[in-house]
Amino acid sequence: MTVETQGTAAASGAGATARFRENKHFSAATSQERVSRLAGRVIKAINATVLDEEVSYDEYNALKAWLIKVGEDGEWPLFLDVWIEHSVEEVANASRQGSKGTIEGPYYLPDSPQQHSPATLPMRDNEPGTPLLFQGQVTNVAGQALPGATIEIWHADDLGFYSQFAPGLPEWNLRGTMVADQEGNFQINTMQPAPYQIPTDGACGQLIAAAGWHAWRPAHLHLKVSAPGHQLITTQLYFEGDEHVADDIASAVKPELVLAPANRADGAGSEVTYNFILDPEE
């Protein structure tokens, strides 16, 4: 058993909660009327479910105990990012003309090491998995290249674990910020990530087991792409043929975000090409 597989949902959840709090980006200039409307609708929907489904006191108390455990395990970021964020993202990006966005997820870290393209993500000696060349171009909606665009990329390793959220992994393993060339082109060498289950030994896993759901996310690359004067896009890219592209537990897959890897001509793994189109700032 490797060190990273000995991590727990509680440790991962606590890390995600701590990182979220560090960012301090959770205040919103929302009116009292707006808060009342949103909170009122959520509470009304819960009460309607209780009445429609004739929820018993045993079920109610089980829910109460589970909600307490979500907090104790630090899994609110995981719960919200898996089951709720995809709808928030859909609202946020409804008017975009350029590349499709999708959820950020709970494991983003700012300030990853910066390199200029062509680049190789930080990784361990003999990092397991299939080498992957990820390349493309960043342009605006008019098709003009965006020189010096930045591509933040992070992803799980071949066992499905993220650095800084599982023990034994180097701090910036498979995380980096890449600067595109003067034509907006980028080339990033990394390892193809594996599909993985979200943590199942904590509160979210209890819900999954009780509901008879699966816990799988398809393999994916996380990305944040930006350029001066343009809107940042947060997205994920998936891989054709992955069995969980069609039933991602986080409901984050979009057809436009599925890649078709090809064998590299030199035989050194796979390669994929994806071009990003950024909208102008509003």
10 Å CB burial of residue 1 (0-12, 13-18, 19+) is: exposed
The DSSP 8-state label assigned to residue 117 in this structure reads S
Contacts of 99 (CB under 8 A, 6+ apart): 225, 233, 235, 256, 276, 277, 278
Domain definitions of the chain by residue range: 91-278
Helix pair 76-83, 85-92: axis angle to 10 deg: 60
pLDDT value at residue 24: 57
176-204 pLDDT per residue, tens: 999 999 999 999 999 999 999 998 999 99
pLDDT value at residue 76: 92
CATH fold label, 91-278: Protocatechuate 3,4-Dioxygenase, subunit A (2.60.130)
Strands, E, within the chain: which ranges? 114-116, 119-120, 131-140, 150-154, 175-179, 185-191, 196-197, 216-217, 220-226, 233-239, 258-259, 262-263, 270-273, 276-278
CB 275 within 8 A of CB 136: yes
Confidence of residue 234 (pLDDT cuts 50, 70, 90): very high
Global pTM exceeds 0.85: yes
Q: 99 to each of 123, 170, 204, how far by Cα in Å? A: 28, 31, 31
Dihedral of the CA atoms 205, 209, 213, 215 (nearest 10)? 30
Contacts of 250 (CB under 8 A, 6+ apart): 81, 82, 83, 85, 86, 103, 105, 198, 217
**230 pLDDT higher than 60:** yes
In our burial notation (b when 16+ CB lie closer than 10 A, e otherwise), range 36-60 reads eeeeeeeeeeeeeeeeeeeeeeeee
